[in-house]
Structure 1
Amino acid sequence: MERASINESLRDLPTDNWMSHLPRALWDVPLCHLAIPGSHNTVTYCLDRNNRSPVDLTQPDMLQKLDKYMKPLIRPFVYKWAITQESSMKEQLDAGVRYCDLRIAHRPNDNSSDLYFYHGVYTTVTVETVLKEIREWLDAHPREVVILSFSHFLGLNQELHSLLIETIRKVFITKLCPKRETITLRNLWHLGYQVIVSYEHNILNCYDELWPHIPYWWANKCKAEALIEEFECRKQLGRPGGFFVAGINLTEDLKYICSHPTESLKDLVMSTYPALLEWVEAQCPGPSTRSINIVAGDFVTESQLVPTVIALNEHLLKWT
């Protein structure tokens, strides 16, 4: 298989196999120094529109109260602002996403041990179904590596955490990379590892396959300019060691939603992508204290985020 030469733009790499097409000079660069595209709140493309469970407790108190007493009126607003990705897991991976932000929930009053994803409301697909979809995709792309960040948990007790971890181990088996390994593409390819699992819970200390929580920079802003200003201030303090995420996802609060009744999160996000991508294009990956690593956003397959982030790795070619 031909690899990209230094003279070729990394922006033009095939997105479904971009890691395997990187120039040889980047094969020994630690993954935490590469620029890697990711998706924020990855599994929201299949929220359950028919489920009657209340909105999750992470939502504003007023929204929870309105949903309880005015569900038929409130739910359409919840869905418009809860969906952060419209593409399936396979479509996101094909588009070049290599970091997935996974938020896990056990539905209230559910007597089964089934787990779902959530963002305001719960998904129609189970966690196990999506993990198997990722496994099938990896089988067809043996030189691609994904980072799965299990970062939020809702309604899980210790038993459900243990069941989730056993599901992860059962699905990915030998593809799981132990946290003691050196994380470069060359080393991962040699050992056959394709999955790095970050788990934000103290149970991770009991498992060799679970990596610590990956810090996620989130500015909690409604405007691109405010988000960029916040990130520039954080960069002055230096990036975290190891993997970390710059989440260029904007936020919204109940006041903003009520003052923009005809809009959706997608309207907000797509209108601000030009300014956000301009900021991304000015960033550099690498070991510098002001470098970036993973960049995650919303509606990633409908923007130029993925090729923009992949192209940032051209900066590394100057130093390898």
Structure 2
Amino acid sequence: MNENNIILEIKNLNTRFDTPDGEVSAASEINFSLKKGESLGVVGESGSGKTQIFMALMGLLAKNGKTTGKAIFKGQNILGLPVAELNKVRGVSLSMIFQDPMTSLNPYLKVSRQMTEVLIEHQGMNKKAALEKSIDMLELVGIPEARKRVHMYPHEFSGGMRQRVMIAIALLCEPDLLIADEPTTALDVTIQAQILDLLQDLKEKLGMSIVMITHDLGVIANMCDHVMVMYGGRVIETGSVSSLFTDARHPYTQGLLKSMPRIDGNHNEDLYAIPGQPPNLQALPKGCAFQPRCQYATERCHQEQPTTTYIDENRTASCHQLNAVTACHPMNVVEGAL
């Protein structure tokens, strides 16, 4: 891999939270890299730890959280940077879109104020120039009558339009890396498709890298170059979208793929669901975290945490039973949903 082309490299990242019931491990031994212009999908059920990795990266962990390891962004380790130094990076060359725009946008300030402040603070623009660029960005993300709407409050926008405003704010300084945390969760299907098309279009226009955090493998299939599957705070499988969707190796990944609804399937069949429930990060089972739900689990799985196995240069999986797991070609299962 050409190191000069890598925009983000995470090395042995661990995120912990101190709670009244003891220390909780939200993300353990996370390692991955992302090249310029590429997109990475981070997928897993709620509580898998996928969001906490990037909250740590942005310096936005709760006060009881702490992180070790390295997050090298454009050649600089940004983990643990003083706030003044981190503010030169986040919102400028590194931006994040959060799940709920109503909790991310200030309800008491007009959109114009929230956008122009970013440009005045980070790019030294005067108010007039900042307003014009804000209007241009709102137009770019598809806000109609942007010159009028820029002076409205967040509650005066629909859910889809608020999400577009959030994207516009995240893109104001034309970041090199955009982290999108479940950006379409609260939106109806039509608006979801519009937002995803918009992100893909902006990625190509601006040449930026994207991390897409989601539980929806259909989004990953349409948006991303690579996939990182998480379970119980750990990475359990990685690979290109094409290789993972056509030849998933980890039983959990296979279960996620089989759980996707098909638009051309037998409507009399029940939708597949992975048995059991995701683990409680405060009380992870011994050995492999997935073993209570896995049909292939053996005594070794109950006792030992699996290590990462390289299937090939660009593919990894963490499973004791890789040779025993039935080969799965789930593209046939999900092709109707893509």
- Normalized against structure 1, the TM-score is what? 0.30
Which has more radius of gyration? 2
**Which structure has more helix as a fraction of its residues?**
1
- Normalized against structure 2, the TM-score is what? 0.29
Q: Which of structures 1 and 2 has the larger relative contact order (alpha carbons within 8 angstroms, sep 6+)?
A: 1
